[in-house]
Amino acid sequence: MFLVFSEIFSDWRVYAVLAAVFASLTAIFAKIGIEGVPSNLGTLIRTVVVLVFLVCVTAIGREFSSLREISSRAWKFLLLSGFATGLSWACYFKALKLGPVTKVAPIDKMSLGLTVALAIIFLGEPFTWKLFFGAALIISGSIILIL
């Protein structure tokens, strides 16, 4: 699937928009699916589906041979990212179980402000006023939505 996409779309912006579309569908599908299901079990089911999907995509793309080339530093940060993802998903599903999507999703998206700050501090990405005001508007919009 991604092989077809990668030939058609070579701009990162296309993938970012697709990620946003699929993330919004994720919230809606999860809210419906989590009804009557313990949140951690729902997260596990979702994770298994993601795992199977990505194993298939990785196999089709013949990317497993690259495993030997991954540095120990990359492994450490990928593992940390995986733990952060697991914690995020577990918390997200618990929040969806307990609250409305229209409140949970905006709070979840407030992570954008923290991500921007961390990217500037730890990755050395450039600070611009445009970036600051854009992130501030998104965070402000999220706050307005949750009030």
pLDDT at 106 over 80: yes
The answer to whether 115 and 84 are in contact (CB under 8 A) is no
Query: Can you tell me the mean pLDDT for 94-101?
Result: 93
pLDDT confidence of 4, banded at 50, 70, 90? Answer: low
pLDDT at 143 over 80: yes
The residue type of 131 is L
- Token look-up 């923290």 returns 114
pLDDT at 6: 61
Tens digit of pLDDT for each residue in 30-73? Answer: 999 999 999 999 999 999 999 999 999 999 989 999 999 999 99
d(CA 139, CA 31): 23
pLDDT confidence of 8, banded at 50, 70, 90? Answer: low
Residues 6+ apart with CB under 8 A from 85: none
The residue type of 141 is G
The residue type of 122 is F
